């Protein structure tokens, strides 16, 4: 199926974009208006865009029904400051409640049962229950349109970072597993970054991985190895030396797999890859291809 976005109504286009482009982190933005009234609202069109300077960008889109601006957008125009609070599982239901279209002037901290904590550098308060909060000054707001569904990029420069010490590891660094973050999917769906759902991928080598194109054809065209498996092999700097190939050839499981045929060898190599032993996996595959 191929879609022309210009032929879709706003609701259908939003559903397609927000479901396909996911999971998305959530900016739980606290702002104030010109009268000092506090607003708290979540936005999943959000991410980090720069380290130096430290820049976070989120987008309050205009209401689909009439193109009107949300309180958060009006507030950052009036008072160009915001605290972006990060959302974890322990507060996700309360966060969702604050997305209710309350009247202007209603304090969503109170509606959601959150605790206001005074900020150090900006006027909006931060959320005590949030594991990490970023005090920001708004550098600019870029309007992407003026109709229903139009985004407004709020470019926020981080001036203070507050971290709950309970989410730090032994070295004083943020621990992903302790953060227990949630992200927005499409419709009513969210996802949770639990330890069971986390996995590690070695970063590409600074010395340059050899690439999938350098692998022998019988490996590249394997019916057993996945694209992820090939990517891990391609990230190796070079082919294993003959000594390693000879060593793995002596292993009983390799001898048995080779006797059983190519698929058995590739299955064994995949087990090595899943155990993080990429060099040995490639050595097994090279031995089998001799």
The pLDDT value recorded for residue 149 is 87
Asked whether the beta carbons of 141 and 57 are under 8 A apart, the reply is no
**Are 185 and 228 part of one and the same domain?**
no
pLDDT tens digits for range 44-55: 999 999 999 999
What pTM, to 2 d.p., does this model score? 0.84
The pLDDT of residue 23 is above 60: yes
Last residue of a domain, one of 167, 196, 225: 196
pLDDT > 70 fraction of the chain, expressed in percent and rounded: 99
Provide DSSP, the chain: ----GGGS-HHHHHHHHHHHS--B--EEEEEE-TT--EEEEEESSEEEEETTTTEEEE--PPPTTT-PPPHHHHHHHHS-EEEEEEPBGGGHHHHHHTTS-PPTT--HHHHHT--EE--SSSSS-EETT-SEEEEEEEEEEEE--SSTT--EEEEEEEEEEEE-GGGB-TTSSB-HHHH-BEEE-STT-EEE--GGG----PPPPTT----GGGS-HHHHT-SSS-HHHHHHHHTSSSPPPHHHHHHHHTSHHHHHHHHH-HHHHHHHHHHHHHTT-HHHHHHHHHHHT-
pLDDT tens digits for range 174-192: 999 999 999 999 999 999 9
Asked whether the beta carbons of 137 and 157 are under 8 A apart, the reply is yes
**Are 250 and 181 part of one and the same domain?**
no
**Are 255 and 151 part of one and the same domain?**
no
Range of the domain at 264: 212-288
The pLDDT of residue 159 is above 60: yes
The pLDDT value recorded for residue 290 is 63
Asked whether the beta carbons of 163 and 132 are under 8 A apart, the reply is yes
**Are 167 and 243 part of one and the same domain?**
no
Rounded mean pLDDT, 261-271: 94
Lowest-pLDDT range of 123-132, 203-212, 277-286: 203-212
pLDDT > 90 fraction of the chain, expressed in percent and rounded: 81
**Are 270 and 176 part of one and the same domain?**
no
Among candidates 123, 121, 125, which has minimal Cα distance to 110?
125
Q: Is the residue at 206 inside a domain?
A: no
Token pair 């391609």 is found at 234
Rounded mean pLDDT, 156-164: 98
**Are 70 and 180 part of one and the same domain?**
yes
The pLDDT value recorded for residue 157 is 98
**Are 56 and 24 part of one and the same domain?**
yes
Beta-carbon-side half-sphere exposure of residue 138 (alpha carbons within 13 Å): 27
- 204/53: higher pLDDT: 53
Token pair 């005590």 is found at 128
pLDDT tens digits for range 99-112: 988 899 999 999 99
Q: Is the residue at 203 inside a domain?
A: no
The pLDDT of residue 289 is above 80: no
Position 207 confidence tier, pLDDT thresholds 50, 70, 90: low
Domains contained in the chain, number? 2
Position 147 confidence tier, pLDDT thresholds 50, 70, 90: confident
**Are 182 and 218 part of one and the same domain?**
no
Asked whether the beta carbons of 252 and 258 are under 8 A apart, the reply is no
Last residue of a domain, one of 196, 230, 258: 196
Q: Is the residue at 15 inside a domain?
A: yes
**Are 116 and 250 part of one and the same domain?**
no
Alpha-carbon span 37 to 48, nearest angstrom: 27
Neighbours of 14 (CB within 10 A): 16
In the chain, what is the greatest distance between 2 CA atoms, to the nearest angstrom? 79
**Are 176 and 252 part of one and the same domain?**
no
Position 206 confidence tier, pLDDT thresholds 50, 70, 90: low
**Are 190 and 105 part of one and the same domain?**
yes
Q: Is the residue at 201 inside a domain?
A: no
Q: Is the residue at 171 inside a domain?
A: yes
Lowest-pLDDT range of 66-70, 83-87, 201-205: 201-205
CA distances, 226 to each of 105, 173, 215, 231, 273 (Å) = 54, 34, 14, 9, 11
Last residue of a domain, one of 138, 172, 196: 196
Rounded mean pLDDT, 212-231: 93
Mean model confidence pLDDT for the chain: 93
The pLDDT value recorded for residue 66 is 79
The pLDDT value recorded for residue 64 is 79
**Are 168 and 30 part of one and the same domain?**
yes
């Amino acid at each position: 199926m191929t879609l022309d976005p210009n032929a879709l109504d706003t609701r259908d286009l939003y559903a397609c974009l927000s479901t396909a482009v996911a999971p998305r982190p959530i900016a739980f933005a606290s702002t104030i208006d010109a009268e000092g009234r506090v607003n708290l609202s979540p936005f999943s069109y959000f991410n980090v865009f720069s380290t130096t300077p430290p820049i976070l960008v989120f987008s309050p889109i205009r209401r689909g029904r009439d193109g009107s601006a949300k309180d958060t957008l009006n507030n950052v125009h009036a008072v160009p400051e915001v605290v972006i609070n990060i959302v974890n599982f322990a507060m996700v239901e309360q966060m969702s409640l604050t997305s209710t279209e309350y009247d202007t002037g209603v304090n969503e901290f109170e509606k959601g049962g959150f605790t206001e904590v005074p900020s150090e550098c900006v006027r909006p308060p931060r959320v005590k229950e949030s594991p990490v909060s970023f005090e920001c000054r708004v550098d600019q707001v870029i309007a992407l349109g003026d109709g229903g569904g139009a985004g407004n990029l709020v470019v926020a420069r981080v001036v203070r970072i507050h971290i709950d010490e309970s989410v730090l590891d032994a070295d004083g660094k943020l621990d992903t597993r302790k953060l227990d973050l949630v992200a927005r999917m499409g419709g009513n769906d969210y996802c949770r970054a639990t330890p069971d759902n986390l996995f590690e991928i070695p970063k590409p080598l600074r010395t340059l991985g050899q690439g999938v194109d350098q692998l022998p054809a019988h490996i590249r065209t394997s019916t057993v190895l996945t694209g992820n498996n090939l990517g891990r092999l391609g990230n190796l700097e070079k082919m294993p030396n003959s000594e390693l190939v000879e060593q793995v050839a002596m292993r009983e499981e390799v001898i048995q797999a080779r006797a059983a045929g190519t698929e058995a060898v590739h299955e064994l190599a995949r087990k090595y890859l899943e155990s993080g032993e990429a060099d040995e996996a490639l050595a097994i595959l090279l031995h089998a291809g001799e």
